[in-house]
């Protein structure tokens, strides 16, 4: 897997452009951005890579394990949407 800094740069740029997601450079899968997920309004519980919702919201949505709690460097947490 490409290092996390590549993914972080892709994700940050995607959020800054207010885009819904980006293509993972290793898998080719389309990855939803925190910008899109936050604007959707609620957590789906699917375990999205860039889920912007707190652990409590993720659990309410049915996510069995919280593996990526939002961090202070999440690009969508500092913006008002």
pLDDT the model gives residue 34: 97
**How far, in Å, are 10, 22, 25 from residue 2 at the CA level?**
11, 14, 8
Per the listing, tokens 């925190």 go with: 34
pLDDT the model gives residue 4: 87
The band of 76, judged by pLDDT with boundaries at 50, 70 and 90, is very low
For the chain, the structural domain boundaries read 4-60
Helix (H, G, I), strand (E, B) or coil at 42: coil
Q: pTM to 2 decimals?
A: 0.75
Per-residue pLDDT tens over the stretch 25-69:
999 999 999 999 999 999 999 999 999 999 999 999 998 877 666
**Is residue 81 pLDDT above 80, yes or no?**
no
Helix (H, G, I), strand (E, B) or coil at 15: helix
């Amino acid at each position: 897997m490409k290092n996390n800094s590549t993914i972080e740069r892709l994700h940050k740029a995607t959020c800054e452009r207010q885009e819904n997601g980006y293509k993972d450079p290793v898998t080719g899968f389309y990855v939803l951005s925190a910008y899109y997920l936050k604007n959707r309004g609620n957590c789906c519980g699917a375990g999205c890579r860039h889920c912007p919702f707190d652990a409590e919201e993720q659990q309410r949505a049915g996510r069995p394990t919280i593996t990526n709690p939002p961090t202070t460097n999440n690009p969508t947490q500092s913006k008002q949407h």
